[in-house]
Amino acid sequence: MSDDEVLPDAPAISENAEAPKAQDGNAHDPNERTAAQGTSNVKLEDLFKDDDDDDEYPFSSATEPASHGSQSENADHTGRSSADIVGDRNPGPQPAKIDMETMYAFYQRLFPFKYLFQWLNHGIKPSVDFGNREFAFTLQNDAYLRYQSYPTAEGLRKDILRLNPSRFEIGPVYSTNPRDRKSLRKSSAFRPVSKELVFDIDLTDYDDIRTCCEKANICPKCWAFVTMAIKVIDRALRDDFGFEHILWVYSGRRGAHAWVCDQRARNLTDERRKAIAGYLEVVRGGAQSGKRVNLKRPLHPHVERSRNILIPYFRSTILNNQDTFSSSDQAARLLQFIPDKSLKDALQKKWESAPSRGSSSKWSDIDDVAKASGNQGLDTKALLEAKEDIILEYTYPRLDAEVSKKLIHLLKSPFVVHPGTGRVCVPIDVKRVEQFNPLEVPTVAELLDEINAWDMEHRPEATDTKMSAGDEDDGADGDDMKKRRLQDYEKTKLRPYIDYFRTFVASLNRDERASGKREREEDGAGEQGSMDF
């Protein structure tokens, strides 16, 4: 997105334009905690609450405080200076721990280091896109290790096998190698220059309207909120902004992350990231802030398109599966949207006389009672708009906008293991998003059991097959499949997810090569038409 481009169907954004009030923020040094200083009195530590969907881990863009005594011991066995290790986290409720041997086996045999490298490197030949990228590790003792970087996939693989982290996160590409930042004369020389545009969807943001689960718990009924959010956001990013390479990843517990990988998206400034986040933000404020959707008419084309996508979900999820308005509290909240007092009073009387009335019936009552009154003095246009607002309030994506605003925000890597559930953070095929069931995503223990079972069944052929994803040549089939050693991930339920990721990366890198070729041709044409002095 060039500086003179504008958001679709929206006012032009100049370089000194103010960000929307909901997006107010100050620029920060990359060593500081990512945070936006809003107009309201919000505690700094609350701005990123649950930003990467893990109760047991606080937000990712962490400050580097002075090392605690316990951390200096860690510096010895990790080989890192204590300044690189962030102090012990307060993990909150302790999840069931995944033992270190299991994690080591996962990294050694299943993690797709090759494809992760190609994804972040944007090609096969090592470049600064990967070499200057920050990685941050959560170690098994909950120490947090930042500003790590690697020239190659093998370097990353060896260090992960040595450290055996419980998980790791990906940060931006910096102007210089993150490992060399302390040797620079000027700290301003170390700055983030690019990173994927990211979005975070977390089901805890729907706790005020989902009736089946709360907090970290999920089920297929409430996962529908994530499904509809993915469909709305993905469509807007493609149709309104022209982005093509969008990777959706299951967070491992109760949410999903989007990585917009197009070069234009990676090079966006913080100001433009805030503008895009503001463009997509319709539901504003917290659960206790009353009505959270306040839209002008006519509806923006993006909002109108989103409404059309969401209407079927409102019926199936809100009115039926969640039965959201069945309780008296939720019925009272629904009445707050009704603009006509007489209609509101009539509905309240009807529902109080039949407290067991379901959500679908209550929704139909709005039109039925309005018609029964003969529409005397009723503003039908205002009622229609109120019903549109209700649909959007209860179904439109609830984004953690702070995650999207800053280049320096770190986000959990695809294919890491969620330490609380043991599930792998697998990609979600947006074309089959309706079929994705988070409860069917394999756990690391299940995957290792599958490998062992396969090896036992194919004992004569299965010798020395301990290969992580991507270690062998791609594209073998037929007789070649019989001759080559089967990769361990191909023996498990992880195979379709890694195959999808490999295809995604190949498509991204094809476009990167084509774009680079066009730029070289344009530069060459410019040189031919210029005069040498």
Active-site positions? 134, 200, 202
3-class secondary structure, 172:
strand
- DSSP per-residue codes, 229-268: HHHHHHHHHHHTT----EEEEE-SSSEEEEEE-SHHHHT-
CB 279 within 8 A of CB 10: yes
Residues in the chain: 533
Tell me which residue has tokens 């007489």: 342
Tell me which residue has tokens 């059991």: 449
| Beta bridge partners of residue 412, listed in sequence order | 169
How many alpha carbons fall within 13 Å on the CB side of residue 184? 13
* Euclidean distance between CA atoms 375 and 395, whole angstroms: 28
HEC string for 314-331: HHHHHHHHCCHHHCHHHH
* Euclidean distance between CA atoms 3 and 264, whole angstroms: 11
* Euclidean distance between CA atoms 284 and 335, whole angstroms: 19
* Euclidean distance between CA atoms 307 and 313, whole angstroms: 10
Alpha-carbon distances of 420 from 101, 112, 141, 260, rounded to whole Å: 17, 21, 15, 26
